[in-house]
């Protein structure tokens, strides 16, 4: 599949290498120009290209070694092509959204152009040898969104170098010699993610080589409005290392100066690789010949003087002039290279377009044949013929056109039992399954290591199993985990020296060292980024967000990067990081701790686990450590001081995901809940028995996945009534559970009363014990909600408690 040869890394600038670079720069520029034409001509939806950045990216690629990582953005086409990881056929296939992995191995058509990813997982979802690859992390479009993970990728090199227990993991690192090439546009450095990452890199001293391509604008907004002193290198000068203080190295270079670029990147890579010092390379005077994207023209906001300057300082033009001045080639030689480069790009474009059309042709031809057969035999044949004719005359019909035509035809065949109808139905069923695979597969791991495939192991107790506080149980669990798996690391605010704010890691940093259990600054976004990068490189990180509400600081990174990684690479990459946090029943507006609906709807691609106590939490941790999906696990903050029996098999106990637990059997109503609400509901259920109401209480245990075997509906079949209770806002987690059970499990068929939800109030909880009581569901609230349902079904047996409600 790889047509571009990686750059010859001899360390010297030979005539052969210089002309090879010029050829690739010209090919990349031609591909950019043709790509824009394809969008404007209607063959592609959108285009964003790397023209103007060719020389800087060639120089960066020249310093890149097998095992290194690129954590870049969507203008790095020359960089990736120079590494031999992108052919121009693949470039155009992605532009056309070709869903064949052979055509677009980066994302199988799932991402717009310019988003590149090395497939570091094999066909079974297992790790390949990363040290043999030129690794590119799957790019994302949100500005600066690619930056937080870069700190974790670089931090992994530090751990692999300094922790001797990891030296056996030779398929992930060669003694921590790998460096991470971050890339970003100048304007995106205004994002907090960038500043947080550069600060963390200076603190951690990790081999992060951050390139800033500075073309002077953020779409239409000039750098003077973006950055203090109109220069990111000047703005970051306070982070510059000195002889006595650690920090980052800052280098500047012009984007059209080929030999200076080569020299600068060789120096930057040497500092990163040998010294493990982060380096910022500010590439200035970069141009953007076609403007920001195909959405508009840069001539709208650039002055004639600026446009002329860009023409004169175009890096390819300057490169040509330098070659001529130094006698490496003649005008005729370079003209020939440019013609050949243009031809190469045009050939790739045509081959990619033809391959894309061929991928659609089979379904289209079959559709036309089936519609013709149906039109000839059906009573409503004239209408089906019209549908066929409309499809025939559609310009470049795609899959949706064929599916829509078949579905419209089947409307006219609804009373028909003909062979033609059966053929259309068979076609629709087949293509629906194929399109599910093309567009909706690989949200989660499909490998043998999926946490959904981990064999459950129940907790085992003996007669004298001790009762201990929840936090002590967590201490014992993490002690056992760290002793048996050197890949596991934990990091977060206050995790190390004091053992986390609730003492789950107390004493463990002293035992296992600060490389394994690490304190961080107050920087949630890059805490998560550290975890993502570590997980991408074969480690098993547990990263802590101290309180659940603080997760909003990192939500963009979680939802845009981590949650989509496996999906957007169609199973080519994974990052099985565990996000540990604590919530529920906290008091106060900013420590209320139950924003489940925000997580459920933002983090599809992660598992969301809500254990009711610390024992259940340890069972889930064991399952996740064995698995290869990322997850968010929310521990119950008010459970650390509650007594629990200590299982004797704490290190083996594995809980299955998506399996609810019936905590109390009953016959009158089913109450579905999770987390700290379990104790509230169980207490209410005990009180309800005094009034002859037997409630069945179910702990869902995990929200993603939710009740995979549809067991909750079996309870509803028995009780014919259901209440969903949680501490989220109205319309949040409880509404999600109702939708899953009533709609997804068809529980509506068995209900004698309307299903209900019981939630917190629409505001965040007020402070203090009374504030908590009147803001979140209490035992009395659960009792009253159940009693009202029973009153509605049998008012004689269950008369109203409080009389008529007043408006």
* 443 phi/psi in degrees, rounded to 5: -65, -40
Alpha carbons 158 and 532: distance in angstroms, whole number: 15
- CA-nearest of 738, 731, 767, 762 to 591 is 767
Other CB atoms within 10 Å distance of the CB of residue 517: 26
CA angle 540, 545, 549 (to 5 degrees): 145
Alpha carbons 123 and 442: distance in angstroms, whole number: 12
Residues in the chain: 807
Other CB atoms within 10 Å distance of the CB of residue 797: 11
- CA-nearest of 544, 455, 532, 460 to 495 is 544
Alpha carbons 657 and 627: distance in angstroms, whole number: 11
CA 599 to chain CA mean position, Å: 13
Q: Are strands 467-469 and 643-645 parallel, antiparallel or unpaired?
A: antiparallel
* 733 phi/psi in degrees, rounded to 5: -60, -40
DSSP label of 130: G
CB 553, CB 547: distance < 8 Å: no
Name the strand (E) or helix (H) holding 661: strand 661-664
**Which residues, including other chains, have CB under 8 Å from residue 519's CB and lie 6 or more apart?**
491, 492, 493, 494, 495, 496, 497
CA 503 to chain CA mean position, Å: 30
- CA-nearest of 51, 76, 31 to 317 is 51
- CA-nearest of 266, 233, 262 to 250 is 233
Alpha carbons 356 and 93: distance in angstroms, whole number: 7
**Which residues, including other chains, have CB under 8 Å from residue 448's CB and lie 6 or more apart?**
124, 125, 126
Alpha carbons 748 and 246: distance in angstroms, whole number: 64
- CA-nearest of 575, 594, 599 to 583 is 594
Alpha carbons 145 and 559: distance in angstroms, whole number: 10
Alpha carbons 349 and 742: distance in angstroms, whole number: 50
- CA-nearest of 421, 65, 461 to 269 is 65
CB 765, CB 663: distance < 8 Å: no
* 249 phi/psi in degrees, rounded to 5: -95, 135
Alpha carbons 224 and 746: distance in angstroms, whole number: 59
CB 90, CB 117: distance < 8 Å: no
CB 193, CB 147: distance < 8 Å: yes
Catalytic residue among 591, 607, 710, 763: 591
- CA-nearest of 79, 48, 54, 94 to 219 is 48
Quickly list DSSP for 432-467: HHHHHHHHH--SS--STT-GGGSPPB-----TTPPE
Q: Is 115 a catalytic residue?
A: no
Alpha carbons 164 and 168: distance in angstroms, whole number: 8
Catalytic residues: 591
């Amino acid at each position: 599949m790889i047509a571009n040869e990686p750059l010859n890394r001899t360390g010297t600038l030979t005539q052969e290498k210089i002309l090879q670079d010029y050829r690739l720069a010209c090919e990349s520029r031609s591909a950019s120009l043709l790509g824009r034409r394809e969008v404007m001509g209607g063959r592609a939806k959108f285009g964003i290209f790397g023209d103007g950045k060719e020389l800087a990216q060639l120089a960066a690629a020249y310093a890149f070694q097998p095992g290194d990582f690129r954590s870049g953005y969507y203008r790095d086409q020359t960089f990736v092509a120079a590494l031999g990881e992108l052919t121009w056929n693949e470039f155009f296939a992605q532009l056309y959204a070709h869903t064949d992995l052979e055509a677009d191995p980066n994302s199988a058509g799932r991402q717009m152009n310019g988003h590149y990813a090395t497939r570091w997982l094999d066909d079974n979802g297992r790790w390949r040898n990363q040290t043999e690859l030129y690794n590119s992390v799957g790019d994302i479009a949100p500005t600066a969104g690619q930056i937080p993970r870069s700190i974790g990728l670089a931090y992994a090199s530090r751990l692999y170098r300094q922790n001797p227990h990891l030296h056996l993991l030779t398929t992930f690192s060669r003694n921590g010699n790998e460096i991470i090439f971050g890339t970003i546009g100048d304007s995106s450095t205004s994002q907090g993610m960038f500043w947080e990452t550069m600060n963390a890199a200076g603190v951690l001293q990790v081999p992060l080589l951050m390139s800033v391509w500075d073309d002077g604008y953020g779409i239409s907004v000039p750098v003077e409005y973006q950055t203090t002193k109109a220069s990111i290198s000047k703005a970051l000068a306070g982070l510059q290392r000195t002889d006595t203080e650690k920090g980052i190295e800052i280098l500047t270079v012009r984007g059209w100066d080929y030999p200076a670029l080569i020299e600068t990147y060789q120096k930057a890579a040497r500092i990163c690789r040998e010294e493990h010092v982060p380096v910022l390379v500010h590439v200035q005077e970069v141009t953007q010949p076609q403007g920001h994207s195909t959405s508009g023209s840069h001539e709208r906001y650039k002055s004639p003087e600026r446009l002329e300057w860009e023409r004169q300082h175009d890096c390819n033009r300057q490169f040509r002039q330098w070659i001529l001045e130094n006698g490496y080639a003649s005008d005729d030689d370079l003209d020939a290279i440019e013609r050949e480069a243009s031809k190469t790009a045009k050939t790739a474009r045509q081959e990619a377009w033809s391959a894309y059309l061929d991928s659609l042709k089979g379904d289209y031809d079959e559709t036309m044949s089936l519609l013709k057969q149906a039109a000839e035999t059906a009573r409503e044949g004239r209408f089906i013929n019209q549908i066929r004719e409309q499809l025939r005359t559609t310009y470049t019909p795609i899959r949706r056109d064929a599916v829509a035509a078949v579905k419209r035809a089947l409307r006219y065949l609804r009373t028909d039992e003909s062979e033609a109808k059966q053929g259309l139905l068979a076609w629709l069923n087949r293509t629906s399954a194929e399109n599910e695979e093309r567009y909706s597969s690989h949200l989660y791991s499909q490998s043998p290591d999926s946490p959904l495939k981990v064999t459950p192991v129940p907790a085992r107790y003996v007669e004298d199993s001790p009762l201990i506080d929840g936090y002590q149980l967590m201490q014992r669990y993490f002690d056992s985990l760290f002793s048996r798996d050197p890949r596991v690391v934990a990091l977060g605010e206050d995790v190390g020296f004091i053992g986390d704010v609730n003492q789950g890691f107390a004493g463990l940093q002293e035992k296992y060292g600060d490389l394994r259990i690490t304190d961080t600054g107050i920087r949630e976004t890059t805490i998560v980024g550290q975890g993502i990068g570590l997980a991408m490189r074969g480690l098993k990180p547990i990263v802590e967000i101290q309180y659940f509400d603080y997760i909003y600081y990192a939500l963009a990174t979680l939802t845009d990067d981590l949650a989509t990684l496996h999906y957007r690479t169609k199973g080519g990459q994974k990052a099985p990081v565990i996000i540990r946090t604590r919530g529920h029943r906290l008091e106060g507006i900013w420590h209320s701790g139950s924003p489940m609906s925000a997580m459920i709807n933002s983090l599809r691609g992660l598992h969301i686990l809500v254990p009711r106590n610390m024992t259940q939490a340890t069972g889930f941790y064991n399952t996740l450590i064995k698995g290869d999906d990322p997850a968010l696990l929310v521990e119950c903050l008010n459970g650390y001081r509650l007594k629990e029996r200590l299982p004797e098999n704490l290190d083996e106990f594995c809980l299955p995901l998506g399996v609810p637990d019936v905590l109390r059997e009953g016959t009158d109503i089913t109450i579905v809940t999770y987390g700290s609400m379990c104790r509230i509901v169980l207490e209410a259920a005990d009180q309800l028995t005094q009034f002859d109401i037997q409630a069945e209480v179910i702990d869902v245990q995990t929200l993603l996945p939710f009740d995979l075997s549809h067991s909750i509906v079996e309870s509803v079949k028995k009780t014919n009534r259901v209440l969903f209770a949680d501490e989220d806002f109205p319309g949040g987690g409880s509404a999600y559970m109702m939708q899953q059970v009533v709609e997804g499990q068809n529980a509506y068929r068995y209900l004698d009363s309307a299903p209900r939800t019981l939630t917190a109030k629409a505001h965040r909880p007020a402070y203090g014990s009374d504030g908590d009581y009147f803001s979140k569901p209490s035992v009395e609230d659960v009792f009253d909600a159940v009693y009202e349902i029973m009153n509605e079904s049998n008012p004689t047996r269950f008369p109203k408690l409080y009389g008529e409600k007043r408006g």
